[in-house]
Structure formats: structure tokens, C-alpha cells
Amino acid sequence: MGLVARHLEANGIATVIMGCAKDIVERCGVPRFLFSDFPLGNSVGRPFDVESQRQTLELALQVLETAPAPRTTVQSPQRWNEDAAWKRDYNDLSKLSPEKIAERRAEFEVVRAVARSKRESV
Amino acid sequence: MSSFAAEYDVPIPYMQRTRDYYLALGYAAYRWAHFVDVPFTPLRKPLNRARLGLITTAAPFQPEAGDQGPGAPYNAAAKFYQTYSLSTESVPDLRISHVGYDRLHTSAKDINTYFPLARLREAVAAGRIGELAPRFHGAPTNRSHRETAERDLPELLRRCQDDAVDAVLLVPS
């Protein structure tokens, strides 16, 4: 998505990204970014919480309107959970035995093969 | 003064975690694209008179492509490799089983957490945004930077230009 924002912007269209992967979006280098420190999949706010989603969108619109320069990131003040322990779990290797790792690899090989055949059928 | 936060209470270092994970599984490290320079176009008219576009990475539900429901395992068969466009007047059934969202801590049960069309319509009705483009666009999540650059970027730009948008909101899932 960072590449898309950059391409639109280079061709005269203002953009703003809403997202949860701060390091990935900022590494790419994008004009405007509203970051929510939520689990991936919640770029627009909390599930079944219209007010959370409304506030998240409003912040993104303000970033679109007021960012003074590229690489502007604003972080939403909303918090997923008082306890931040959820942040330790994503791709956490420490919880995986060698057997489990072999299992994940076998699963990923299947995923890769499916993606490849789908891509080649386009 | 407020107390210090826990050591791990920072934005998740996804690149490091992903790199370590796939190295442990026996794969080479994925390289994320990055650039020194970043383009910038100011918003040229007030938002309440502007036409806003929307780009998503979510995928239209495909009946033949297996489990795409909330909490479904990663489903590569549900991926798409060509840009698609659908009416912003519609209520599309979009899913994110084809991307790596956090399946442990969230469920993708509420489309409004990754696709803000309903919230955008409210913002138009409230006069905050001038209008929405007649259609939104789906951007393929392709691991190949070359294919993204050569095929998807020009296509998305062309469609946004055809829509005569003043600005675009991009929402990765």
C-alpha cells in the first residue's frame, strides 16, 4: 500500500494511509500515515465500535488536511487493551517446538503452492 | 508523572518478527521496499468540497475459494492478482483471509475495522467530506515488487484519475 500511496502522490493525488504496521509503512516512506497500535486487521478502529472507527477515520482525515511534509505519522490515542501482552504473540518463535516449526513450514509450503498457481492463472 | 510503560509496550516490530520467523522455518529473508525520497502533494481544496477515493487490500468473497470467514486460516486461494473496482453505492462483501492479519487477537468479524465505507458515507452525510468517488478499488497484495510496480501501480493511478479524485484514503488490512 505504501507503493500505491507514493505513486498516486508523485502524480498529483494527495493520500493518507490508515494502518497498524508502523515499522513497515514508515520503512517504505509514505506521505501521510495514521497509525493505530492495534492488532493487524483493525486499521479503521475497534470491532463493533462505531465511535472508535469514527474517531480513527476523523484523525486520518485531519492528517490528510494538515500534514506539513511527507513522512508525517500520527498515532491514534486509542488503546487496544490496558495490558499490552498481546504485542508479544505475533510470530512468537519462543512458543514453538522444533516439531511445531516443521509443521508450520509444511503448511507454508502448501500456501506458497496455492498462491503460485493462482498467480500464474491470471 | 505517569509511570513508565512495559518494555514490550511499543509498536510491534513486524519486520524483525517476520524475518526471524521465516528464517527459523528455513526461508530467505523478505526484503521490504524502501526509498530515500517521499513524494508529497498538498490537498488542493477543502475536504468538504473534495472528492475522496478509497483503496483497499481486502478481497471480494469468492464462493469457490474455501474458508474466508472470520478467523479462517491464511487462505492463499482467496488472493487476487488484478486490480478490481466496485461501486461505493454497493455494500460489498470483502474478506481478509488472504492476508496476515492477527488471527490470535482479532477476528475480522466486523468489516468496518478494515474497510471504512460505512464510516465514510456518514462523513459525507455530515458534510465533512464533499463526496466519495463512484467506485473504490482493490489493490492486489503481491509479494513481487516488480509486478506491483509494472502492473498494479499504473492501473490504480489510471482508475483514480478516471474517477477525478482530489485525494485517496488507503487502507491495508
**Residue range A25-71, pLDDT digits in tens:** 999 999 999 999 999 999 999 999 999 999 999 999 999 999 999 99
Query: B133: which 3 cell numbers?
Result: 468517488
Interchain pair A119, B33: CB under 8 A: no
Residues of chain B neighbouring A62 (CB-CB closer than 8 A): none
Residues of chain A neighbouring B104 (CB-CB closer than 8 A): 39, 86, 89-90
Query: A97: which 3 cell numbers?
Result: 517446538
Whether the per-residue pLDDT at B2 is higher than 80: the answer is no
Tell me the C-alpha distance between B43 and A15, whole Å: 8
Interchain pair A122, B116: CB under 8 A: no
Query: A30: which 3 cell numbers?
Result: 509514505
B168 or B27, higher pLDDT: B168
A120 or B151, higher pLDDT: B151
Mean pLDDT for the stretch of residues B7-21: 94
Q: How far is CA B143 from CA A48, A77, B31, in A?
A: 31, 31, 10
- Strand duo B167-171 + B131-132: pairing: unpaired
Which amino acid is present at B1? M
Q: Which of B132, B161, B40, B153 is nearest to A30 (CA)?
A: B40
Interchain pair B156, A8: CB under 8 A: yes
Chain A: closest CA distance from residue B155 (Å): 10
How much is the pLDDT for B131?
Answer: 98
How much is the pLDDT for A17?
Answer: 98
Question: pLDDT grade, residue B33 (50/70/90)?
Answer: confident
Q: For chain B, what is the mean pLDDT? A: 94
B75-122: pLDDT as tens digits? 989 999 999 999 999 999 999 999 989 999 998 999 999 999 999 999
Residues of chain B neighbouring A44 (CB-CB closer than 8 A): 112-116, 119, 171
Question: pLDDT grade, residue B59 (50/70/90)?
Answer: very high
Tell me the C-alpha distance between A90 and A87, whole Å: 7
Q: Which of B25, B26, B116 sits opposite A44 (nearest CB)?
A: B116
Chain B: closest CA distance from residue A10 (Å): 5
Q: Which of B113, B156, B165 sits opposite A47 (nearest CB)?
A: B113
Residue A73 backbone dihedrals phi, psi, to 5 degrees: -115, 130
Q: How many CB atoms lie within 10 A of CB B3?
A: 5
B48 or B148, higher pLDDT: B48
Whether the per-residue pLDDT at B142 is higher than 90: the answer is no
Question: pLDDT grade, residue A3 (50/70/90)?
Answer: very high
Question: pLDDT grade, residue A121 (50/70/90)?
Answer: confident
How much is the pLDDT for B155?
Answer: 97
How much is the pLDDT for A99?
Answer: 92
